[in-house]
Amino acid sequence: MTDDELDSLLRALGDATRRRLLDRLRDEPGLTLSALADGFEQSRQAISKHLALLAAADLVVCVWRGREKLHYLNPVPLQALPVRWVTSSAREHSAALHTLQQALQDATP
């Protein structure tokens, strides 16, 4: 995952409404914009903008069925997040914790 892809993913996940939309698509795949907008206080236009940002981050995939545009959660970028962010940094975090532990032990009389 590139830095730009990570930035896009984190930006998309940085809003509670977008996270709720993803949760809804996880539980009810293949919803239309109208169906997704139900249950939100925001307008359909606002929900549409959120969906566009989620699609740009590759978290939502749209499929046309006739005249209906159906939205689906794409979990692949979410699965890549721990690999890029957590797993790759685990060694550095462990070293930082060890350094902190040593500093705290040295400071204790």
The CATH number assigned to the domain holding 67 equals: 1.10.10.10
Return the axis-axis angle of helices 44-56 and 3-13, rounded to nearest 10°. 150
* Beta carbons within 8 Å of 42's beta carbon, 6+ residues apart: 17, 50
Domain tally, the chain? 1
Reply yes or no on whether the pLDDT at 78 is more than 90.
Answer: no
How does residue 87 score in pLDDT terms, banded at 50, 70 and 90?
Answer: low
- How many residues does this entry show for the chain? 109
Q: What percent of the chain has pLDDT over 90?
A: 59
Cα distance between residue 108 and residue 55, in whole Å: 52
Q: Detail the DSSP E strand segments found in 6-74.
A: 60-65, 68-73
> What domain range is 54 assigned to?
3-107
What token pair was written down for 93? 């975090």
